Amino acid sequence: MNLILKHITIVLLIFCSFTLMGQNSVESKLNSYKEQSINTKSFDKGHWEEMVGGVDYSEIQKKKKESKTKKKRDRSRSSSSSTSASEPWFKNMDGKIWAVLGKIILILLAVILLAVLVMHLFGNNIFAGPKNTRILTKDGKIDIENIEENMHEIELNDPIQLAIQRGEYDTAIRLYYIAVIKELSVKKLIKWKKDKTNRDYYNELAGKTIQPSFSDMTNVYERIWYGSKSLQQHDFNSLEGRFQQVINSIKQTVIPTNG
């Protein structure tokens, strides 16, 4: 351990000695340089002009400055053009584009007004989904209530023929009566509502030629539907023709127009 310390001490001493020697050498050279005399020479202007050959360096410097100024101007224009390109699209729109947008807005307004007019003329049901056109219940019976409620969307001949095939003649008569109500509503001879009674419809037909026939069909329907006996096939065949005749008569009715 002591031997290592001894070697380190020797190395440090040698390093310090070289450092001091170097400093003394530099100082001696500086002192020697300061003591030397400086020889000056005069400037021969004629000889200088002969060497440069009459070149006007001031003009060259002026052109260099102009070139630098032009480059800065070009960079400034390029920066402004890129800035304008990055601006929002609507700032670069001209009058023609605004005119096109104005026409589009007017067209959209016209479409909206047309839609409102159609809804006013035909009612909101024009945009409604399909009605429930079911004619049978889950257990396979003819769904009289649903058929009556949606009579304007259901082709009534289908459930009528089904009732006849099954021998359900009472049900067939009731469906024929619903068909009479439907045709009266389509011809706008009555205003159909689910909670109205047959007497209400009879009163609405006052003064119309179809009222007596409607009264006759109402009496037939009520006697069979609310009666204690079931309708037989031969009786149904004769009644069916009468209902069909009344329905065809209503379809041929001409609705008077105002004015």
Residue 8 resides in a domain: no
| Mean pLDDT across 21-40 | 57
Query: What pLDDT score does 128 carry?
Result: 46
- Residue labelled with tokens 């807005």: 105
Q: Work out the pLDDT band at 77, boundaries 50, 70, 90.
A: low
Angle formed by the axes of helices 233-251 and 211-225, nearest 10°? 150
Q: Work out the pLDDT band at 207, boundaries 50, 70, 90.
A: very high
Residue 169 resides in a domain: yes
**Please, is 184 exposed, middle or buried when counting C-beta atoms within 10 Å of its C-beta (0-12, 13-18, 19+)?**
buried
Is 90 exceeded by the pLDDT of residue 247? yes
Q: Which two tokens stand for residue 9?
A: 């001490």
The verdict on 162 and 211 lying in the same domain is yes
- Mean pLDDT score of the chain: 77
Residue 33 resides in a domain: no
Is 50 exceeded by the pLDDT of residue 163? yes
The verdict on 121 and 152 lying in the same domain is no
Distance CA 183, CA 247 (A): 7
Query: What pLDDT score does 179 carry?
Result: 97
The verdict on 149 and 107 lying in the same domain is no
Is 50 exceeded by the pLDDT of residue 259? no
Query: What pLDDT score does 203 carry?
Result: 97
Is 50 exceeded by the pLDDT of residue 37? yes
| Cβ-based neighbours of 201, under 8 Å, separated by 6 or more | 181, 184, 190, 214
The verdict on 181 and 241 lying in the same domain is yes
Lowest mean pLDDT among 3-12, 142-151, 197-206: 3-12
Q: How many domains does the chain have?
A: 2
The verdict on 151 and 243 lying in the same domain is yes
Is 80 exceeded by the pLDDT of residue 7? no
DSSP conformational letter for 41:
-
- Tell which residue, 215, 222, 213, has the closest CA to residue 251: 213
Q: Let me know: does 164 contact 135? Beta carbons within 8 Å.
A: no
Q: Work out the pLDDT band at 111, boundaries 50, 70, 90.
A: confident
- Residue 181 structural domain: 144-251
Residue 225 resides in a domain: yes
| Cβ-based neighbours of 135, under 8 Å, separated by 6 or more | 142, 143, 146, 147, 154, 158, 159, 162
CA angle 6, 9, 12 (to 5 degrees): 155
Residue 172 resides in a domain: yes
Neighbours of 77 (CB within 10 A): 10
Residue 204 resides in a domain: yes
For residue 157, CA distances in Å to 108, 141, 172 come to 43, 16, 10
Residue 31 resides in a domain: no
Is 90 exceeded by the pLDDT of residue 251? yes
Distance CA 188, CA 251 (A): 11
Query: What pLDDT score does 19 carry?
Result: 52
Query: What pLDDT score does 201 carry?
Result: 97
Distance CA 95, CA 103 (A): 13
| Cβ-based neighbours of 233, under 8 Å, separated by 6 or more | 167, 169
Is 60 exceeded by the pLDDT of residue 1? no
Residue 222 resides in a domain: yes
Distance CA 70, CA 48 (A): 33
